[in-house]
Structure 1
Amino acid sequence: MKPAALVALVLAAAPAHAMDDASLAQLVRQRLDGDRTGACMAVAVVEKTHVSRTFQCADPAEAGRIGPDVAFEIGSVSKTMTASLLADLVQQGKGSLDDTLASWLPEGTKVPEFQGQPILLRHVVTHTSGLPALPSRGMDLTRMDDPYAGLDAESLLASLADVQLDRAPGGRFAYSNYASMLLSYAVARRAGTDLETLLQQRLFAPLGMDRAFINRRPDGVREAKAHGSSGKEVPAWRFATDLAGVGGVRATLDDMVRYVQGGLAPGDTPVARAMAMTHVPVSQTPPMGMNWMIAPAGDRKLLVHEGATGGFSSLVMLDPEQERGVVILSDTNWISIGGLASLGNHLAEPSLPLGKPRRAATPEPALLQALAGEYQVQGAMKMSLRSRDGTLFLQPAGQPEYEMAYDDAGDFYPRDFDAVLRPAKRADGTYGFTWMQAGAVLHAVRIEPRAAFPQPSPAELAAYAGTYPLMPGFDLSVREEGGKMVAQATGQGPVALEAVAKDRFEAAAFGAEFLFLRGANGEVEAVELHQAGRVLRGQRQAQ
């Protein structure tokens, strides 16, 4: 599942216009036709009195891959369904969001605390538990084609003994599939049945989601074939049933339409009350209900969740005030190229850009020449880039060489597996790159001999200290600490910086450069943050 697969929206206040099948098909074709991923999509816009649907493929000749009878992996959108099951149990009087996670797990399970502060269920459904992204045991991360297949409840629970929390639960957002798997298991355990049966009884059947399933496929349902963003077919992912609430639900487009309709319709049935409870704000940083992101839409609020597995992408948006929703299901993983946000945002609010297909392109020779070299990837292996006959080749340390294709969005991608290499021009004109694979976003820096630059004294470092607002609500705080320059962005931990030239510092592990700008009086007055090809500038506010 996509660890950071939540859509950020800043929408205009005007409500979207009514949609019909032909208009929706035209929009999806405009976004998808000829896309180098070869993706197919099932898309619906759900309105109070009407539902528009379309099934489209980048290559129309592939249209048979999908249809009304085809079930897609919906990935992390499954988490919102697990939240509804939890809400249902709460409303039955079988628990509370203020229960500890430990109280929902087998007696004797060692669950970490921070200075006596336990993890509560409200922390789990808002990704503020402090638990890591993945469990330490039971997963084979050397084969990302099906990483959850070997994970069982025993390994999931045993992994808790390896965790030490570094902050109080509830203190900071950090997306955790591990915490969501624990919740999936805990909900099934508290209900006294397996998760698939629980979903069928308490969610799917009441909503008429007749073709939705985890591992027990109904008759007459085809399973969509999974594809990576390079267009190659890849294995679908498998989950143990009771852990599948993290991302293992499969559903047709009509199943998801009924799910959205259930989330939009008021009512006094158990399923309506449970779904409504998941929409109520539980935390504010960022705003979240129970596993739903709450995004601003002018004076309205949207409920949003995006999902991705190895070969699928999904997106669901609810606009309760307008009684309108959007569903996008794709048989291709788009996580490394930005997900489904641009299409989803446009369908929710037409004033936002639709985006365009990524088409194969030819890179400039100067770019290939500038990228050639040896690189260290953050927290991972070394990689070599070479240019031959107008093509870039990638060779990870100890692995074969891979040919890289290029698209008109400026990204390179391997022809043989699913990843993206995004060039990033540095402040000094040289290049690094960002490597995106299986949900990870890793920065790579060139390995090159460089004369050591004298590190500034504590007094010299103090001249840079201050707060630099880079965006609304996102500040960079700079200080001298123990003879080192330390930078800390809003909501993030402190990072030590190394001076590499006058007024220029690096956090090499994060692919970030900090260029400090001086005014006419010689004093530091601004900073530019260069990272992943973006430049953010902030004026200094003295401490």
Structure 2
Amino acid sequence: MTTADLTRLTQAAPGATAVTLAVLHGGQRHVWCHGTPAAGARPTTPATAYEIGSVTKTFTALLLAQLAAQGRVNLHDPIDAHLPRHHRPRTPGGAAITLLHLATHTSGLPRLPPGLLTRALPAYFTNPYAAYSEEEFHRCLPRTRVRHRPGTRLTYSNYGMALLGHTLAHATATPYPALLTETVCRPLGLTATHCGPPPTGQATGHRAGRPLPPFALPALPAAGALRTTAEDLLTYLHALLHPHTTPLTHALLAVQKPRLRAPRSRDHLCLAWNLRHVDGHTLLFHSGATRGFTVFAGFAPRTGTALAALANTGPRLGGRFVQCAYTTLKRLCGS
């Protein structure tokens, strides 16, 4: 592992002013940083915060698994057991959506809540979801018709993962941000991981080379609102590689268990994590993005290798950043 890998990632993220590569390999932690978080700022460090987009979903899945390990919910609970009647989507024949369906994208819910795109259009290229409130999310739930019978099709759904966070909050009478902090982040020592306002020193996101405001996702925090640092991501990945050294042993093992096979693929889906067998290794990984950031996180349990790559530029058509990070992880597993 050399700084050449950071150089390749930086080249794969045109428009980024800050890129961070964090690696666990051979029992050692390494972090390489490039650039500055914002114009005129001090150089990027391992403590620079980034928006991680859909990598948030892996934290929400771990929250579900830990609440299940504590006996506070069950993976097979129908959401109706925890939600008020006026917060329930309509399903074919009244079939139940379970917490497991939400965590594996098999609920039948669409990718986004009804009406969200309409509200997002005026700020689509900057901060599209900031004006969509939690109250609107609640109002759209009973108007939503589930497209397929729950458990029958894999359809990636931000809406479904957001509903999972919403349901867990109702089940525990605790708002999602506080619930995630007390149940997952604090026990794992993740002091810089949260979905609150951006901290001082967070990198400024960019799209096509232009700076963007901090991403806001008030109605769907469980689907993509987390901010964190390379240091915290390494601690998180270390816990996934060594679950028996943490207070969340059973939950960390549960999120790595394959739950279903992706259609027309040899890949499997765990609780949020993608699982792939390649070159004799098992890789678990997830990518994430907001309008101004792109992130990849992955690990290989058998080799004890993990990698997080973060850039303060949004995804672009034909972008190579996530693929470059995945390829680097795969190569490290063979070294």
Normalised by the length of structure 2, the TM-score is 0.88
**1:83 is aligned to 2:61:** yes
SS of the equivalent of 1:115 reads helix
**Letter of the aligned partner of 1:266 in structure 2?**
P
CA deviation after TM superposition for structure 1 residue 126, in Å:
1.1
Cα deviation per residue 1:111-132 (whole Å; 9 max; x = unaligned)? 2212332222211111111111
CA–CA distance in structure 2, aligned partners of residues 324 and 30 of structure 1: 19
CA deviation after TM superposition for structure 1 residue 153, in Å:
3.0
After superposition, the Cα gap between the structure-2 partners of 1:172 and 1:39, relative to the gap in structure 1 and judged at 3 Å, is farther
CA–CA distance in structure 2, aligned partners of residues 155 and 332 of structure 1: 29
Q: Hey, what does 2:183 align to over in structure 1?
A: 202
**1:70 is aligned to 2:51:** no
CA–CA distance in structure 2, aligned partners of residues 34 and 197 of structure 1: 36
Does the 8 Å CA contact 2:106/2:154 hold for their aligned counterparts?
yes
Determine which structure has more spread, i.e. the larger CA radius of gyration: 1
Cα deviation per residue 1:129-187 (whole Å; 9 max; x = unaligned)? 11111111456221222222123333213212332233211222211111111111112
Q: Hey, what does 1:331 align to over in structure 2?
A: 312
Q: Hey, what does 2:225 align to over in structure 1?
A: 248
After superposition, the Cα gap between the structure-2 partners of 1:30 and 1:292, relative to the gap in structure 1 and judged at 3 Å, is closer
After superposition, the Cα gap between the structure-2 partners of 1:254 and 1:54, relative to the gap in structure 1 and judged at 3 Å, is same
CA–CA distance in structure 1, aligned partners of residues 304 and 186 of structure 2: 22
After superposition, the Cα gap between the structure-2 partners of 1:50 and 1:333, relative to the gap in structure 1 and judged at 3 Å, is same
**1:156 is aligned to 2:137:** yes
**Letter of the aligned partner of 1:260 in structure 2?**
L
CA deviation after TM superposition for structure 1 residue 110, in Å:
3.4
Q: Hey, what does 1:170 align to over in structure 2?
A: 151
Q: Hey, what does 2:205 align to over in structure 1?
A: 226
Cα deviation per residue 1:250-269 (whole Å; 9 max; x = unaligned)? 11110111010111103175
Which of the two has greater strand per residue? 1
**Letter of the aligned partner of 1:141 in structure 2?**
A
Does the 8 Å CA contact 2:287/2:297 hold for their aligned counterparts?
yes
Q: Hey, what does 1:274 align to over in structure 2?
A: 251
After superposition, the Cα gap between the structure-2 partners of 1:351 and 1:50, relative to the gap in structure 1 and judged at 3 Å, is closer
SS of the equivalent of 1:350 reads helix
Cα deviation per residue 1:316-342 (whole Å; 9 max; x = unaligned)? 001111111110111111243335332
Match of 1:295 among 258, 266, 276: 276
After superposition, the Cα gap between the structure-2 partners of 1:335 and 1:26, relative to the gap in structure 1 and judged at 3 Å, is same
Does the 8 Å CA contact 1:122/1:282 hold for their aligned counterparts?
no
CA deviation after TM superposition for structure 1 residue 87, in Å:
0.7
CA deviation after TM superposition for structure 1 residue 35, in Å:
6.0
**Letter of the aligned partner of 1:167 in structure 2?**
H
After superposition, the Cα gap between the structure-2 partners of 1:189 and 1:36, relative to the gap in structure 1 and judged at 3 Å, is same
Once superposed, which parts of structure 1, at least 4 consecutive aligned residues long, lie more than 6 Å away? none
**Letter of the aligned partner of 1:173 in structure 2?**
L
Does the 8 Å CA contact 2:294/2:311 hold for their aligned counterparts?
yes
CA–CA distance in structure 2, aligned partners of residues 258 and 165 of structure 1: 37
Match of 2:71 among 80, 89, 93: 93
Match of 1:42 among 20, 44, 65: 20
% identical equivalent positions: 28
Structure 2, unaligned runs of 5 or more: none
CA–CA distance in structure 2, aligned partners of residues 35 and 74 of structure 1: 15
**Letter of the aligned partner of 1:208 in structure 2?**
G
Q: Hey, what does 1:132 align to over in structure 2?
A: 110
Structure 1, unaligned runs of 5 or more: 1-18, 353-543
CA–CA distance in structure 1, aligned partners of residues 274 and 41 of structure 2: 32
After superposition, the Cα gap between the structure-2 partners of 1:348 and 1:269, relative to the gap in structure 1 and judged at 3 Å, is closer
Match of 1:146 among 124, 127, 136: 127
SS of the equivalent of 1:131 reads coil
CA deviation after TM superposition for structure 1 residue 216, in Å:
5.2
**Letter of the aligned partner of 1:209 in structure 2?**
L
After superposition, the Cα gap between the structure-2 partners of 1:63 and 1:84, relative to the gap in structure 1 and judged at 3 Å, is same
CA–CA distance in structure 2, aligned partners of residues 62 and 36 of structure 1: 19
Cα deviation per residue 1:415-465 (whole Å; 9 max; x = unaligned)? xxxxxxxxxxxxxxxxxxxxxxxxxxxxxxxxxxxxxxxxxxxxxxxxxxx
Q: Hey, what does 1:104 align to over in structure 2?
A: 82
CA–CA distance in structure 2, aligned partners of residues 267 and 34 of structure 1: 36
SS of the equivalent of 1:209 reads coil
CA deviation after TM superposition for structure 1 residue 101, in Å:
2.1
CA RMSD of aligned residues (A): 2.6
Does the 8 Å CA contact 1:313/1:334 hold for their aligned counterparts?
yes
CA–CA distance in structure 2, aligned partners of residues 98 and 36 of structure 1: 44
SS of the equivalent of 2:177 reads helix
After superposition, the Cα gap between the structure-2 partners of 1:335 and 1:167, relative to the gap in structure 1 and judged at 3 Å, is same
CA deviation after TM superposition for structure 1 residue 62, in Å:
8.0
**1:344 is aligned to 2:321:** no
Higher RCO (Cα < 8 Å, 6 or more apart): 2
Match of 1:305 among 281, 286, 293: 286
Q: Hey, what does 1:12 align to over in structure 2?
A: none
Which of the two has greater helix per residue? 2
After superposition, the Cα gap between the structure-2 partners of 1:282 and 1:33, relative to the gap in structure 1 and judged at 3 Å, is closer
Cα deviation per residue 1:20-69 (whole Å; 9 max; x = unaligned)? xxx1x22221342496424421111112520121112499x988462223
Cα deviation per residue 1:343-369 (whole Å; 9 max; x = unaligned)? 2122212399xxxxxxxxxxxxxxxxx
Match of 2:241 among 241, 264, 270: 264
Match of 1:32 among 10, 13, 17: 10
CA deviation after TM superposition for structure 1 residue 295, in Å:
1.4
